[in-house]
A and B are shown apart, each in its own frame.
Chain A
């Protein structure tokens, strides 16, 4: 089964843009904390793109890459951007359980498989409650609503589920069964469409985190939450762990960052597929565009020009290099 992480980035522009937003969020945060002494823990994929960029852009040197697949783990070691990077062969959940993290860290739990959403969300929530104050945690989740059950599964149970409205309700019931006490108390079946499901997962995530930190002398402050779809729809959530008595000034500065977003109001990153010429024509989306055709909207049905206006600074540019 092809792993999402090994699919070339040039056919995952939204993922690339999302990563740029992540780096931008860390840059914003670096105005408050000196990130040079942080450690970065992540999953990496075979090419360690995230690690490279974090080292180059932010200067972090202490990095830990955790990988469960042996072959990928060996490729990572070969592709290491830094000679003293640590490579761990094992599951991320195991690594975080076995190793007490006592220093400020940035952890990105970049999960792609839809099958273990509850475990993934709980792993994130537990880290939010355990990591040292000043740390940052980020989670990527697969937000494909068909992971709750395909239409075929539903129709096998009852042919009435051919009706899209009933199918949504069926998925909502399966969601409630899956998430149990984590389920938000106000849910409607409209939250289980392809476009809306990601935001529903972010609601669950927010509640799970709040529950884990209740009573602890810390606060969770959200930084960046995104919703995008290259192949599969995905959502991300990034938070910083702040002291209980943090000055309001700090949060005020963070909220001034242009891509500041929360689980209740995530950024939809739905970049249109454009040629270089079209991109030059649209530019930053703020001038008159001379195209006698419409640019089709992408999977999350956002207006392409509005998307360019918002995200032109992080829109990826790919070029071919011959070696």
Chain B
């Protein structure tokens, strides 16, 4: 009888790298690297409330090279040797157990480097000294998972931080980096995804130009008798869920103007934050409840913004997918929060329904004196100035509709209805010429004049 033999089961490097890089977009891979920088800033501040204005991240993309550098504390040598270059997170890697980071799987940096090119250099300078690790093409091409040399070197300058450089870019990546539209879109993604950090003072530059954040704020009165957003907060299983829904700071609309009706206000809709990262910005789809017990989003709701934040020191409990750029809609914490999101938004869609046929100037008068504030400041203001309701689920809530704090139009104001229709341009020109002896009059004015003439006749 022949001896029993064994079969090989270990994954090939090519398969692993290919699978790892396949399910992430290039710009998301770069966002992962920025995430790592921010995690570094958090760690170097002891895991809590860094002074973000002290930290800077700089990214350069050209058709030949990618670099990202920061002053966020650097990668400690023992971390580099034992964890940072491993594929996946070790069970004994407890670096971030008390910090509100978002990395879970230990693949972000490697995935980004492999996605972009064949030759990467990681330089780090910390209090313990500086080192360099080079992932060369021959390591990428060989089958074995050999350890990579770490060279101790003299630090370049005094700042404690990391610099990553990727050369020998893949053809596709090189082409994308050369396209202005890619850099433009990357800047937008960064301004959205990291808006909270940017607002707190973090500087992120892409090709030497600083990225500005999207400002996400709601209007709130300090006076408890005046309007304030719907606010809810609850802690469940180590995750703090905070919700605020209300009037954003964009111009109010209520107009026949087709421009206004088609306007897409970026901050309107739902924004989902997980540990300060914006996973979704201005979502107006069913994913966040629009069209599901809440009307489908349309221009009337461009004044409404909902913000929901999930915060935890255990990133695996956050309702976020492996790419960190989408919501895990099957997670319990999301499913529970989703119901509250719909309830909160329904309060405000109802508010806009009441005001939709009323003059803008009358509606705006109720918001004179209101201040625009970020999510946390809104919640602090509402908790400090209003009676919160304790809910059965352990959360606290302020519902402006129940508290009678949402303004309603005065009943003496006559409600209006919109009349709109399309006619051939030649006919509109003919009527304009007839009524005004001028064909350059706005079609709306032509329609109004026709209505006025007939109304006068009807009154006689």
Contact = CB atoms under 8 A, between A and B. Distances in A.
Nearest to A161: B251
A91 to B, nearest CB: 12
Contact of B188 (A1, A149, A170, A185): A185
Interface stretch (B6-14, B173-181, B402-410): B173-181
B440 A206 contact: no
Interface of B is mostly: helix
Nearest to A214: B179
A149 B252 CA distance: 15
Contacts of B191: 185
Nearest to B211: A185
B63 interface: no
B266 A176 contact: yes
A34 to B, nearest CB: 30
Contacts of B429: 1
Interface string B167-209: 0000010011001111011011001000000000000000001
A170 B439 contact: no
Contacts of B251: 157-158, 170, 173
Contacts of A157: 251-252, 360
B45 interface: no
A211 B263 CA distance: 22
Contact of A156 (B179, B262, B360, B425): B360
Contacts of B372: none
Interface in A114-138: none
Interface string A1-37: 1100000000000000000000000000000000000
Given A170-B251, A207-B180, A186 B209 contact: yes
A218 B41 CA distance: 43
Contacts of A180: 264
Contact of B263 (A177, A184, A185): A177
A153 to B, nearest CB: 8
A173 B250 contact: yes
Contact of B181 (A69, A177, A214): A214
B459 interface: no
A211 B181 contact: yes
Interface in A162-192: 170, 173-174, 176-178, 180, 184-186
Contact size class for A? 20 to 34
Contacts of B262: 177-178
Nearest to A179: B264
Contacts of B176: 214
A284 interface: no
What size tier do the contact residues of chain B reach? 20 to 34
A2 B439 contact: yes
Nearest to A113: B425
A315 to B, nearest CB: 30
A21 to B, nearest CB: 24
Nearest to A207: B181
Interface string A219-263: 000000000000000000000000000000000000000000000
A210 interface: yes
Contacts, number: 57
B156 interface: no
Given A1-B439, A2-B440, A157-B252, A185 B187 contact: yes
Most chain-A CB neighbours within 10 Å: which of B179, B184, B257?
Answer: B184
B259 interface: yes
Contacts of A185: 184-185, 187-188, 191, 211
A84 B185 CA distance: 47
Contact of A206 (B180, B259, B264): B180
A293 to B, nearest CB: 35
A69 B424 CA distance: 11
A156 B254 CA distance: 12
B265 interface: yes
Nearest to A156: B360
Given A186-B209, A214-B179, A177 B264 contact: yes
Contacts of B266: 176
Contacts of B250: 173
Nearest to A180: B264
Interface string A34-69: 000000000000000000000000000000000001
B423 interface: no
B259 A174 contact: yes
A158 B364 contact: yes
Contacts of B180: 206-207, 210
A1 B429 CA distance: 6
Contacts of A214: 175-176, 179, 181-182
Interface string B200-230: 0000000001011000000000000000000
Nearest to A264: B180
B156 to A, nearest CB: 30
* Most-contacted residue by chain B among A176, A180, A186 (CB, 10 A): A186
Nearest to A177: B263
Interface string A139-166: 0000000000100010011100000000
Closest 5 CB pairs of A and B: A177-B263, A185-B187, A210-B181, A1-B439, A185-B188
Given A1-B432, A178-B262, 13 more contacts: A1-B440, A2-B440, A157-B360, A158-B251, A177-B263, A177-B264, A185-B184, A185-B187, A186-B212, A206-B180, A210-B182, A214-B176, A215-B175
9 contacts: A2-B440, A158-B364, A170-B251, A180-B264, A185-B184, A186-B187, A214-B175, A214-B176, A214-B181
